[in-house]
Amino acid sequence: DADVTQTPRNRITKTGKRIMLECSQTKGHDRMYWYRQDPGLGLRLIYYSFDVKDINKGEISDGYSVSRQAQAKFSLSLESAIPNQTALYFCATSDVDISNTGELFFGEGSRLTVL
């Protein structure tokens, strides 16, 4: 089983719907992140959390919210999905300051399509 698990892996939805992407990890890491990847744009950070109840905005947080319910769980919500939120979303974890180690452990990704 993967150490970082994302659900759902694929989702097609309509504009205006609320969507939640869930992430759980068994690595015991305190730090969790949500990224989105778009063709030609690379990975961009949406939100990150260093501990339960710690939430920080990333580069592109508008239109998204997150919840860190437990050390092992970090969920991403789109309150009212729009087509330009169509992307591949990755959850990631790290155990220490990634500026030094650079090592993020990614989930397998959640492909979201908003029609």
Q: At closest approach, how far in Å is the CB of 106 from other proteins?
A: 4
- Identity of residue 66: V
CB of 84 to other proteins, least distance (A): 18
Q: How far is the CB of 15 from other proteins (least distance, A)?
A: 25
Continuous H helices in the chain: 98-101
Distance between CA atoms of 51 and 109, rounded to whole angstroms? Answer: 22
Where on the chain is the footprint of other proteins (CB under 8 A)?
Answer: 31, 40-45, 48, 50, 58, 90, 97-104, 106-109
Residues near 29 by Cβ (< 8 Å), separated by ≥ 6?
93, 94, 95, 105
Query: How many residues make up the chain in this entry?
Result: 115
Q: Which CB, 48 or 64, lies closer to other proteins?
A: 48
74 or 90: CB nearest other proteins: 90
Q: How far is the CB of 33 from other proteins (least distance, A)?
A: 9
- Closest CB to other proteins among residues 50, 65: 50
32: its two tokens: 């969790």
Q: Which is nearer to other proteins, 87 or 104 (CB)?
A: 104
Cis bond upstream, residue 39 (ω within 30): no
